[in-house]
Amino acid sequence: ERHGQVPPVAEYAAWRDTAIFEVLYSTGCRVSEIAALTWGDIRFEQGTTVVEGKGRKQRLCVLGEPACEALRTLRELAGLLWPGSEEARACLFLNQRGGPLTTRSIELQMKVWLRAAGLPPELTPHKLRHSFATHLLDAGADLRSVQELLGHASLSTTQIYTHVSIARLK
């Protein structure tokens, strides 16, 4: 049997959370940006998505292969549970009743996984955005590129992320 001993909704929720964390880290997006994504926003063949950031500005984000794999499985499971939920206009991330997941729900669900993994509860989805930026800077990406990827209007906002990289260099 496809689902084994795990109820289909629980299997969906586990894949959903996996996909959320992969997409957050892969794109460097804000939680509100990924909560608003629909299947029509995802370009699996290119490994990209377009998100609408602050000030209704759109930007292109890269989706790594682990994020794409998790999303493909998620879409398949969603379609089995809630027919129509895999269509282009449907939200990516759904709650256990098939409705759109809120940013608050994403934050709370991360706390559940942090507790289960014995990790510090002060970690947040926004910390994945910081990790995305810091890892890019540590790998040699220039500040302007990171600014574009994060959707920052001002370079000074992006520079907040450089203190971690400078500390690592020292």
User: Is 1 a residue whose pLDDT tops 50?
Assistant: no
Judge contact between 53 and 33, C-beta under 8 A. yes
User: Is 169 a residue whose pLDDT tops 60?
Assistant: no
Q: What confidence score (pLDDT) does residue 166 get?
A: 62
| Three-state secondary structure call for residue 74 | helix
Q: How is residue 80 written in tokens? A: 């089995």
Q: Which residue has the tokens 């892969």?
A: 26
d(CA 34, CA 25): 11
User: Is 148 a residue whose pLDDT tops 80?
Assistant: yes
Q: What confidence score (pLDDT) does residue 159 get?
A: 77
Global confidence as pTM: 0.87
Give catalytic residue positions: 30, 54, 126, 129, 152, 161
d(CA 14, CA 18): 6
41-74 pLDDT, tens digit each: 999 999 999 999 888 889 999 999 999 999 999 9
| Three-state secondary structure call for residue 162 | helix
CB atoms under 10 Å from CB of 78, counted, come to 24
Q: Which helix (H) or strand (E) holds 49?
A: strand 48-52
